[in-house]
Amino acid sequence: MSLLEVRNLRVRFETARGWVQAVDSVSFDLDAGESLALVGESGSGKSVTAMALVSLLPRPPAVIETGEARFDGRNLLALGERELRRVRGREIGFVFQDPSTSLHPLMTLGEQLTEALRVHEKVSQRVARARAIEALAEVGIAEPDARVDSYPHELSGGMRQRALIAMALMCRPKLLIADEPTTALDVTVQAQILELLRELQRRHGLAILLITHDLGLVADFARRVHVMYAGSIVESASASELFARPAHPYTLGLLRSVPTLATSLEHPLSTIPGSAPDPTKSVHGCPFRPRCGFALASCESSRPPLLPPLGLQRAAALLSAQGSRRSACFESARVAAEART
């Protein structure tokens, strides 16, 4: 059984300009110790999906319409605030995007690190402090016993992110949700942080849900990748399959906009034309249609379901034993064929 099973999650925001369907029927599974990536451009609903799982969304305006999130056998979305609090921080750790605002500026690292411990486990101040120092050391912060008394502003961005990771892991959770953990950092630090996450995952058997808009990061981090567009998952595949043979035009566009060694004059970097749809308007047909280079007339009338891509089953079966790839596009085969050339 999976550690986390999300089924048919729908979240909307009730705003002054009408309501916004931020997350639309999202389902995915995550096994213990596995890593999974949620990829998509800004505003595609990745953060909302993640925060909905542990009810971190402000309510109102957020409304969770339907959905189920089974974590270790319990439906998180049906839990009361008290039970949820016991899950948060203790069983599911969270790392947020911006390390400079996610730490409390007026509290020492030590206090922020030990807080989760002291809330969830009855440990003495001394033990908690020792464990905080240990945790700081584990995430690679030099002189942890001095740093434990520093304030966030005394640390560099990379160190703050490391501290945040240490904080999320204080109670040894089974799942770490990392919401764009490297976006605010420069490239070398990004690599270090990802390496650290991988290392921690190996050591503690941690499951990681990595949220990012950068497909480049995903390649050698996650086994499975879900691509989100306008609140829905439009393609789901193992990382290797996805890179080898994207089956959704949006994924293809994303891949082509990632610079690689192969980027050259013949295969120049491209961007996806147009912009994400206005989330306050509900759409008929495929939400990607206005930006899609593969669109046919049929794409306008009905919405493509997330299914194993037609005509690709055989190839998929060859590529991966699991054969669990899915794409929400009527023209998956054409897209995959195009991607190969």
Per CB under 6 A, does 96 bind ligand SF4?
A: no
* Alpha-carbon gap, residue 145 to 333, rounded angstroms: 57
47 binds Mg ion (CB under 5 A): yes
Q: Which of 175, 227, 230, 295 binds ligand SF4 (CB under 6 A)?
A: 295
- β-partners of residue 70 are 5, 75
Measured from the CB atom, the residue of 144 and 279 that comes closer to ligand ATP is 279
Regarding 294 and contact with ligand SF4 (CB under 6 A), the answer is: yes
Given Mg ion, ligand ATP, ligand SF4, none, residue 299, with its beta carbon under 5 to 8 Å by kind, binds ligand SF4
Per the CB < 8 A criterion, the answer to whether 206 and 102 are in contact is no
* Partner from ligand SF4, Mg ion, ligand ATP, none binding residue 99, C-beta < 5-8 Å depending on class: none
- Please choose which of ligand SF4, Mg ion, other proteins, none residue 47 contacts, taking the beta carbon within 5 to 8 angstroms, the exact cut-off set by kind: Mg ion
Please give the Cα distance from 97 to 111 (Å, whole number): 21
Quick one: 128 or 329, whose CB is closer to ligand SF4?
329
Q: Which of 197, 329, 336, 339 binds ligand SF4 (CB under 6 A)?
A: 329
Q: Which is nearer to ligand ATP, 20 or 306 (CB)?
A: 20
Strands (E), 175-296: 175-179, 207-212, 224-229, 232-238
Helix extents (H) in 139-263 = 144-147, 157-168, 187-204, 215-218, 239-244, 249-256
Asked whether the beta carbons of 157 and 188 are under 8 A apart, the reply is no
Binding site residues, ligand SF4, CB under 6 A:
249, 286, 288-289, 292, 294-295, 299, 304, 329-331
The residues that touch Mg ion, with contacts defined as CB under 5 A, are 47
